[in-house]
Amino acid sequence: MAFQQQLSVVTLGVADLIRSKRFYVDGFGWRPVFENEEIVFYQMNGFVLGTWLHDKLAEDMRRPLGVGRAPFSLGHNVRTREEVRPILDRLAAHGGTLLKPPVEPPFGGLQGYVADPDDHAWDIVWNPGFRLGDDGSVTFGV
């Protein structure tokens, strides 16, 4: 039996919801669809992003804090190469840390990395090989 190929929710552990909200609300300009004292949800294009206090997330998963993690990044594709640098700068100004300034990667386009206040890496990228829909959805290949 095959399961539907989808991603429905990504939940990131955060140390401080107020600091995290500053990055996502003031930096990206996103608006929460739900929040309480432990978690904030943002409706994305076809899935939900959650930011949950990391000790509560660890408790829910029954996985102690400090367990080793594999590196990963979250991608935020944009429509033009001119959008990459201003987004990186804005996110850095709202609590993020610039990890890698914009460069032209081997696949073409332009990309840079910024970490949110809890060190989750965001890849801000214009990739001419991806099609970006009006709703923000991305399609591999053109």
- Residues 25-59: pLDDT tens digits? 999 999 999 999 999 999 998 899 999 998 898 88
Q: Residue 85 belongs to what domain range?
A: 9-64+73-140
Is 69's pLDDT higher than 70? no
Averaged confidence pLDDT in the chain: 90
Confirm whether 90 is domain-assigned. Answer: yes
Domain count, the chain: 1
> Largest Cα–Cα distance of the chain, in whole Å?
47
Confirm whether 1 is domain-assigned. Answer: no
pLDDT band at 141 (very low <50, low <70, confident <90, very high): confident
- Residues 70-104: pLDDT tens digits? 677 899 999 999 999 999 999 999 999 999 999 99
Confirm whether 49 is domain-assigned. Answer: yes
Confirm whether 82 is domain-assigned. Answer: yes
Confirm whether 105 is domain-assigned. Answer: yes
Confirm whether 4 is domain-assigned. Answer: no
Contact 102, 94 (CB under 8 A): no
CATH number at residue 91: 3.10.180.10
